[in-house]
C-alpha cells in the first residue's frame, strides 16, 4: 500500500458517498472485511459524512435543538475518526513494520503515517468539492476563477503529500525512521476528565 493507492480508495469513497449524498445513507464497503483497504474506505466515509454535517450545522436558520443534536453527532464522529487513525497506525507499527529494526540513528517523524493519511483523506474531499465549485452553472466568473486557483493549489498539495507519505513509509520500512502510536486522550469526551461531566465546581 502506498499513498497513491490510498488516495484512489479515498476517491472511490468520496465518489460513492455522493451517489446518494446523504449523511444517513449506509456505507457499502467494497473491500474485504478486516483489510487495510476496507479501513481506509471506511475512514474516508466517516470524513465525508462529517464534512456534510459541518455544512448542515452552519445553516443560519437551523433549529437550535437540531443544531445541538448535530454538534453531538459531530463530536461522536470526531472520536470515531480518531480511533480509526490510531487503529491504522497500530496496524502499521504492529503488523506492517513489526519485523523492522530501526537503525541506530533512526529518528521519529513529527507526524505518524496514519495522521498523514488522514490529511490525504480530507484532501480528497476538498478536491471533490472545489472541483464542484468550478463547475457550478449558477456561479459568477470571478467565483469560478477563484475556485480554479484554489483547486490548482489543492492538486499541488496532493502531489506533495503523497510523495511525503511514500517517503515516510519507505524510511520506516528501511529503519531510517521509527513510529509510535500516541493516543489522543481527548479529555472532553471522557466523563472522568471533563469537569462539566464529573461535576467539578470552580
Give the dihedral of Cα atoms 40, 46, 52, 57; nearest 10 deg. Answer: -150
Residue 60 has pLDDT above 70, yes or no: yes
Residue 196 lies in a domain: no
Residue 143 lies in a domain: yes
Residue 116 has pLDDT above 60, yes or no: yes
Residue 202 lies in a domain: no
Question: What is 124-182 written as a DSSP string?
Answer: HHHHHHHHHHHT-TTS-HHHHHHHHHHHHHHHHHHHHHHHHHHHHHHHHHTTSEE----
Predicted confidence at residue 202, as pLDDT, reads: 53
Residue 122 lies in a domain: yes
Residue 200 lies in a domain: no
Residue 169 burial (C-beta neighbours within 10 Å; 0-12, 13-18, 19+): buried
Cell triple for 18: 455522493
Residue 70 lies in a domain: yes
Residue 201 lies in a domain: no
pTM for this entry: 0.92
Give the structural domain span for 32.
3-190
Look over the chain and give the mean of its residue pLDDT values, rounded to a whole number: 94
Domain count across the chain: 1
Residue 199 lies in a domain: no
Predicted confidence at residue 82, as pLDDT, reads: 93
Amino acid at each position: 500500500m502506498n499513498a497513491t493507492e490510498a488516495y484512489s480508495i479515498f476517491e472511490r469513497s468520496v465518489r460513492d458517498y455522493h451517489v446518494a449524498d446523504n449523511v444517513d445513507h449506509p456505507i457499502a464497503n467494497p473491500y474485504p472485511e478486516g483489510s487495510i483497504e476496507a479501513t481506509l474506505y471506511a475512514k474516508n466515509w466517516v470524513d465525508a459524512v462529517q464534512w456534510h454535517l459541518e455544512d448542515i450545522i452552519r445553516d443560519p436558520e437551523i433549529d437550535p435543538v437540531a443544531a445541538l443534536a448535530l454538534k453531538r453527532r459531530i463530536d461522536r464522529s470526531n472520536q470515531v475518526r480518531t480511533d480509526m487513525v490510531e487503529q491504522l497506525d497500530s496496524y502499521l507499527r504492529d503488523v506492517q513494520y513489526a519485523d523492522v529494526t530501526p537503525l541506530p540513528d533512526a529518528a521519529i517523524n513529527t507526524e505518524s503515517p496514519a495522521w498523514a493519511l488522514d490529511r490525504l483523506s480530507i484532501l480528497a474531499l476538498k478536491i471533490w468539492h472545489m472541483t464542484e465549485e468550478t463547475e457550478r452553472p449558477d456561479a459568477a466568473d470571478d467565483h469560478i476563477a477563484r475556485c480554479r486557483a484554489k483547486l490548482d493549489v489543492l492538486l499541488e498539495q496532493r502531489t506533495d503529500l503523497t510523495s511525503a507519505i511514500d517517503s515516510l513509509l519507505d524510511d520506516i520500512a528501511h529503519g531510517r525512521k521509527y513510529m509510535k502510536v500516541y493516543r489522543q486522550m481527548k479529555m472532553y469526551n471522557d466523563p472522568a476528565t471533563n469537569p462539566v461531566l464529573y461535576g467539578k465546581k470552580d
